[in-house]
Structure 1
Amino acid sequence: MEDMRALSYGLGQQYFEERDYRGAVRALLPVVEETPDDVGTRLLLARAYFHAALLKPAEQHLQEILDREPTESYAHLMMARTLERLSRRDEATKHRRIAAALTGDDSLLVPHGA
């Protein structure tokens, strides 16, 4: 079973790198369901959802990550970007501030294109 998870994860990574984000979601979702505490896999799945413009599932998975790992700075940044795309800028600002505080990178405070 471990071999199948590794194969599915590798396939998900490949799809993501090829910008086939929906393919990445299909490959990664069973892995996340099997290993829900694996933050790295869940983060890749959330990124695939984000890039596929499936923002609600991206938000849900990012929230799962932040519930488990509140100091995961990249998850905060991705949450900010997701909320911005959902026109929820006030909520996004909070996550940008947390990401900037965790990394010491004040450039994270400014949304892309702003």
Structure 2
Amino acid sequence: MEDMRALSYGLGRQYFDERDYRGAIRALRPVVEETPDDVGTRLLLARAYYHAALLKPAEEQLLEVIDREPTEYYAHLMLARTLERQSRPTEATKHRRIAAALTGDDALLEPHRV
């Protein structure tokens, strides 16, 4: 079973690196379901959702990451960006502040402009 998880993760990582975000989601979702406490895989799944513009599932996964690892600054930053893309800047500000506090990088307080 461990070999299948590792294979699925590797495939998901490859899809993500190739910018096939929906392929990454298909590969990573079962891994996260089997190992819900694996924050790294869950964060990669959240990133795939974000890049696939599936913002609600991205938000859900990021909240799970933060629940498991409250000091994971990148999850706070990604959640801020996800909320901003959903036109929820007030909620995003809280997570930008947390990310900035965790890293000491005040540049993270500025909304990401594309």
What is the match of residue 101 of structure 1? 101
Runs (4 or more) in structure 1 with deviation over 4 Å come to none
| Aligned-residue offset at 1:71 | 0.7
| Aligned-residue offset at 1:112 | 1.7
Q: What's the TM-score, normalizing by structure 2?
A: 0.98
Aligned CA RMSD, in angstroms, stands at 0.9
| Aligned-residue offset at 1:64 | 0.5
* Structure 1: runs of 5 or more not aligned: none
For residues 42-90 of structure 1, what are the alpha-carbon distances to aligned partners after superposition, in whole Å with 9 as ceiling and x for unaligned? 0000000000000000000000011111111000000000000000000
Q: For 2:105 and 2:14, how far apart are their aligned partners in 1?
A: 30
Tell me how many residue pairs correspond in the alignment.
Answer: 114
What is the match of residue 36 of structure 2? 36
| Percent identity for Structure 1 against Structure 2 | 83
What is the match of residue 56 of structure 1? 56
Q: What's the TM-score, normalizing by structure 1?
A: 0.98
What is the match of residue 47 of structure 2? 47
Q: For 2:6 and 2:95, how far apart are their aligned partners in 1?
A: 31
| Aligned-residue offset at 1:111 | 1.1
